[in-house]
Amino acid sequence: MNRFNVKCILVTGCAGFIGSNFVRQFKKEFPKAAIVGIDDLSTGRKEEIDKSVKFYKGSILDTKLLDRIFAKHKPEYVFHFAALPRVSYSVEYPVETSEANIVGTIALLNASQKYGVKRFIYSSSSSVYGGAKQLPTKEKDNEPNPRSPYAVQKYIGEPFCKVFSDLYGLDTACLRYFNVYGPGQYGDSAYSTVVSAWLESLYFPKNKKAFIEGDGKQSRDFCYVDNVVLANMFAMKSSKKLNGEVFNVAHGERTTVNQVKKLIEKYSGKKISLEKRAPRKGDVKHTHADISKIKRMLGYKPVVNFEEGLVRTIKWFEERIKKQ
Ligand SMILES: NC(=O)c1ccc[n+]([C@@H]2O[C@H](COP(=O)([O-])OP(=O)(O)OC[C@H]3O[C@@H](n4cnc5c(N)ncnc54)[C@H](O)[C@@H]3O)[C@@H](O)[C@H]2O)c1
């Protein structure tokens, strides 16, 4: 029996990788709650949206549509996953991505305060650190240093959350995700991690050619998508006022790219052949989050470790092959 009571939530970006995973798991824990979703399907896939979602196809920039959705459904919690989340795309299209990622977030914050939402949970990104000085990286000792339009856009959402908490009393929480991977992340998108990019090349060689940049000793704090979902659930359930508080969301351990290759080969039984490329300019060598703050304040603990997450992701790729 779940003692936390929730009647209705709004999930933006419900057709995307993290949003669609979130919906499926939220439904398992709260089968009676209504889930309203909005997505313009610019990158998301309609078939990923759970049938139980009351789905609106449209943009978070459409304030009339937002008014209609909020007035009709009165969501108590808003989980804001919608974004154009690609660094290279944001470099090419700084105006369009700023609209979706900054103005879209403000439009949602505004509707949330107007319609009395209990808490707004914002998907931020570890890219705001722009190569942290300290590893493992703590929120407070590492000033944001965004290095791409995408990272600036994600960062700006954080002080906006804080301002809406201060000005209107709308409670908000900002979750900085590190290198998320898992089922539902297609490897042919520019934003995919090496995990999905390499699995795509193994299972769907026509879609993707696998490559490695540099010596493979670079490491990442790979975070399985269920851990991100869980962090959002904890952020919703917290009895504290969060008022724009920022939290790292990660596994809290790092894995080198060379180790990823070995483990993929071990669990898939296939050999990956990689084209060697020069290290990417400006790429950070390591990411590694300090997750003590979210553990302490929200009770978060990652539930799926890297190897287990990898096995589940491989299974999803194998199922995709069967469906073809
Ligand atoms: N995947 C990661 O590793 C990662 C890491 C850090 C932060 N994030 C953040 O997490 C969130 C979810 O990421 P994801 O990997 O699921 O991305 P995704 O691209 O799979 O999902 C984003 C969804 O938003 C939708 N969308 C885009 N613009 C929209 C608009 N104007 N109106 C309505 N819908 C719109 C897209 O169609 C898509 O379905 C994003 O905010 C992203 O910045 C992701």
Mean pLDDT for 87-106 is 96
Residue 50 CA to residue 55 CA, distance in Å, equals 9
DSSP code of 289?
A: B
Where do the domains of the chain lie? Answer: 8-182+225-250+288-303
Q: What percent of the chain has pLDDT over 70?
A: 98
Residue type, 195: V
pLDDT score for 3:
78
- Pairing verdict, β 219-220 and 255-256: antiparallel
Q: In degrees rounded to 5, what are phi and psi of residue 244?
A: 85, 10
In the predicted model, what is the mean pLDDT of the chain?
A: 95
Per-residue confidence band for 283, with pLDDT thresholds at 50, 70 and 90: confident
Most ligand 1 atoms within 8 A of CB, residue of 18, 25, 45, 287 to mutate? 18
Atom number, ligand 1, closest to the C-alpha of residue 20: 16
Most ligand 1 atoms within 8 A of CB, residue of 20, 43, 56, 65 to mutate? 43
| Cβ proximity of 108 and 166 under 8 Å | no
Q: Superfamily assignment of 8-182+225-250+288-303 in CATH?
A: NAD(P)-binding Rossmann-like Domain (3.40.50.720)
Structure pTM?
0.97
Handedness of CA 194, 199, 202, 207 (dihedral sign): negative
Is the peptide bond between 136 and the residue preceding it cis, with omega within 30 degrees of 0? yes
Atom number, ligand 1, closest to the C-alpha of residue 150: 43
List, chain by chain if needed, residues with CB within 6 Å of any ligand 1 atom: 13, 15-19, 38-44, 59-61, 81-85, 100, 104, 123, 125, 154, 177, 179-180
pLDDT score for 2:
62
CB count in 10 Å sphere of residue 255:
22
pLDDT score for 316:
98
Whose Cα sits closest to atom 32 in ligand 1? 59
| 80 Cα: distance to centroid of ligand 1 (angstroms) | 9
